[in-house]
Amino acid sequence: MTKTNQNSLAVLILAAGQGVRMKSSKPKVLHKICGKPMIYYTIKVAKMLNPSEIFVVTGFGSKDVAQEIKKFGVRSIVQEEQLGTGHAVKISIPCIKDFDDLLLLYGDMPLIKSTDLELLLRDFWATGSSVSILSTAVKPPSDFGRIIRDSKNEFAEIIEELDATPEQCRIGEVNTGIYCFRISDLLEVLEEINNKNAKGEYYITDCVNMLRKRGKKVSVMVAPDSTNFIGINSRVHLVQANAVMRGEICERLMDSGVTIIDPATTYIDDEVEIGQDTIIYPYTYITGQTRVSSDCTIGPNTFVSDSVIGNRTTIAYSVVKGSEVMDDCNVGPYSHLRPGSVVMKGGKVGSFCEIKKSVIREGAKVPHLSYVGDADIGANANVGAGTITCNYDGFNKHKTVVGEGSFIGSDTMLVAPVRIGKNATTGAGSVISKDVPDGALAIERSDQKNILGWDKIREKKAEKRLKKG
């Protein structure tokens, strides 16, 4: 955002609360929405405003929160006792006192939009206010402080819900709790606030009211969409915010050229990238740092996490984690690519397969019912049904290498470490524990024995058991 003046702006994000109604040992702001802790979204929006610095006030689980926000390059301030919003700002004075303006945000309000905050800042700078308040209209107006206006429809005061009269509780314009203060004016009143209220806390709203009583300019900017100000105080609120954000993510992707068959049953994380003309079928989860290219078909009933998917690739009824699936590949149905797996161009991992930390090279196929672990499957090789790479000896993992163009017969056990040469073949049902040269056929089977009259022998054995029983 381009400022209308040269004042320095600090952003203070309040994130000290435990969130008692969450019933959790985890700090409230670390609960995830669309794959990211909710504090991430507030920091993300704050950074879009290009402030001079961002601070986060931590409290419950401060070490965990500080570790998380460190990833985003912001500073933390510890509030040892959670005595209210006014107290949180008080303890931040040493960090914010040298800035001109302060934008106050909340770590449990992940749906806020940069456009709303830009409007607030423009109003603050344009009106020369000591404080600008961001309000919105809510029906029914619960859990928020009420904006009280005078006979001229100008701001008079903020009343917290617990301290409001029944008549004031019916007021539809509510305080979002987001403010922009002129710091010099804020410091004049901050030390004077007290906790003589229903909650016994120090309210930052008291600073707003005191500035108004002292004749300072207080302006109110009304945000049009109250949904952006959902505060997360319970698991129910968490679900509500997830639903809103999932809808926004799906809408953004559809606007960019992605087909999502049923957004209501599609779960895509915030940082996921998906290319044009890709189709996402219902009950698909795409999470983490995943990038899906163009013209793909993903789903239904598919989970893809922290993976890279190439162009024109199909993944159905399968799980792909921490893997790369390149162009023109097919995965599934009902297969699992575990972390460290790579399926190269034109590769196939068919039905009921598990691939672990392996490379399936160009055009190679693992069509069905196989486990491939710690292996390198050469280009255009074909791994027959029921093949298993026996990679673990009880102590260490070992590697299997299958050469280019090789054919692995059905139900082959490849006992690693073992190397199958180029264009080699293994006979069905073989246990291969030694290297196979290029172009060779390896068969390992015991001689077949046919015992004649076995049906009669079985009958006699059954008769004896009946007599003894």
Per-residue pLDDT tens over the stretch 323-380:
999 999 999 999 999 999 999 999 999 999 999 999 999 999 999 999 999 999 999 9
Q: What is the pairing mode between strands 36-37 and 32-33? A: antiparallel
Are 245 and 110 contacting, i.e. CB atoms less than 8 angstroms apart? yes
Is the C-alpha dihedral spanning 208, 213, 214, 220 positive or negative?
positive
- Per DSSP, the three-state class of 275 is coil
When computed from its CA atoms, the radius of gyration of the chain, rounded to whole angstroms, is 32
With a CB cutoff of 8 Å and minimum separation 6, the contacts of 250 are 260, 263, 266, 268
Instruction: Tell me the C-alpha distance between 116 and 180, whole Å.
Output: 12
Tokens of residue 290, six digits:
């995943």
| Active site (catalytic) residues | 368
Q: Say what the pLDDT of residue 3 is.
A: 47
- Please give the model's pTM, rounded to 2 decimal places: 0.88
Contact call for residues 221 and 119 (beta carbons, < 8 A): yes
What is the three-class DSSP state of 21?
helix
Residue 103, classed as helix, strand or coil, is strand
**Residues of the chain below pLDDT 50:** 2-6
Distance, in Å, from the CA atom of 376 to the CA atom of 372, rounded to the nearest integer, reads 9
For residue 218, report the phi and psi dihedrals to the nearest 5 degrees: -125, 120
Amino acid at 325: V
Distance of CA 71 to the CA centre of its chain: 15
What SS3 class is residue 302?
strand
Delineate the domains of the chain, giving CATH numbers in brackets. Answer: 9-229 (3.90.550.10), 318-442 (2.160.10.10)
Longest dimension (CA), the chain: 110
User: What count of Cα atoms within 13 Å lies in the side-chain half-sphere of residue 436?
Assistant: 29
pLDDT digits (tens, 9 = 90+) for 227-267: 999 889 999 999 999 999 999 999 999 999 999 999 999 99
